[in-house]
Amino acid sequence: MAEEKAEEKVALQDSKVERSRRALEPMPHLRAQVVRGFGRGSKLLGFPTANMNVRWDFMETPEKLTPEERDVLDFARSCEPGIYYGWAQGSNGADSGVYKTAMSVGWNPTFPDVKAKTIEPWILHDYAEDFYDCELRLIVCGFVRPEAKFADFKDLIVAIREDGDFCRETLETAELAAIAKDLFFVSKEAEVA
Ligand code: ADP
Ligand code: RBF
Ligand code: MG
């Protein structure tokens, strides 16, 4: 279970939200397994999100986790709930490209059934197949906006689409585009060599 509680929010009556490009310093580098969520991303909203495994079950004994698992737990616990932009790679999947991503971290307050903070990147790429259980690598570059509670989930759909456009455009600047080449991401050539 998440340690913190979701903040009570007033529901927005439309899709209007303010966005920023606030860079994170340092940029978290995260590695986690892709796990199943409620299956709502693609089916209800039309945006699949690769939910990352956060080891809430080791909250009291983080020393038992691998350094990678601990980094993910630390990030999930301490970061501001909201939307972030970054680069993602399904590093051991059939498609191991590094792609732009719009990521949600939080309790998805539009839906009352989410009880723990989730980390869910919507990768801005069309994958040929699902990649559950694969390892996902992520560099979180910056913060876009706090998560919001929408009275109507159709407004959430509009906001997510606009977040995607905003993140895509932001990551096209030369400085942020260069991060896709970071050695943190697994390179196919390196694997073969
Ligand atoms: P869940 O609630 O189980 O996360 P989703 O509807 O959000 O269900 O679907 C997520 C799954 O879809 C991911 O775990 C991944 O395997 C797959 N997927 C396919 N394309 C993408 C994409 N562009 N971004 C994120 N996940 C994707
Ligand atoms: N959920 C919310 O309740 N409020 C939000 O403001 C919100 N913004 C999101 C923005 C993006 C780019 C993405 C990918 C997801 C967002 N979500 C938000 C999470 C969404 O509710 C969640 O992905 C689905 O419920 C499937 O788990
Ligand atoms: Mg998902």
Calculate the average pLDDT of the chain. Answer: 93
Q: What is the per-residue pLDDT across 147-177, written as a single tens digit (0 to 9) for each?
A: 999 999 999 999 999 999 999 999 999 999 9
Q: Is 122 in the pocket of ligand 1 (CB under 6 A)?
A: yes
**pTM here?**
0.95
Q: What is the per-residue pLDDT across 134-143, written as a single tens digit (0 to 9) for each?
A: 999 999 999 9
Token duo for residue 27 = 């940029």
Q: How far is the CA of 190 from the centre of ligand 3 (A)?
A: 30
pLDDT tops 60 at residue 190: no
- Banded model confidence at residue 1, pLDDT cuts 50, 70, 90: very low
- CA distances to 23, 49, 118, 126, 164 from 37, rounded to whole Å, are 28, 9, 9, 19, 20
Q: Is 54 in the pocket of ligand 2 (CB under 6 A)?
A: no
The closest ligand to the CA of 39 turns out to be 1
Tell me which residue of 16, 4, 3, 8 sits closest to 152, measured CA to CA: 16
Q: What is the per-residue pLDDT across 19-74, written as a single tens digit (0 to 9) for each?
A: 999 999 999 999 999 999 989 888 888 999 999 999 999 999 999 999 999 999 99
CA 44 to chain centre: 18
**Whose CA is closest to atom 2 on ligand 2?**
108
Q: Is 166 in the pocket of ligand 2 (CB under 6 A)?
A: no
Alpha helices in 38-183 (DSSP H): 40, 67-78, 153-170, 174-177
User: 120, 147, 189, 191: which is the annotated catalytic residue?
Assistant: 120
pLDDT at 44: 86
Q: Is 157 in the pocket of ligand 2 (CB under 6 A)?
A: no
pLDDT tops 50 at residue 193: no
What's the rounded Cα separation, in Å, for the pair 161 and 139? 21
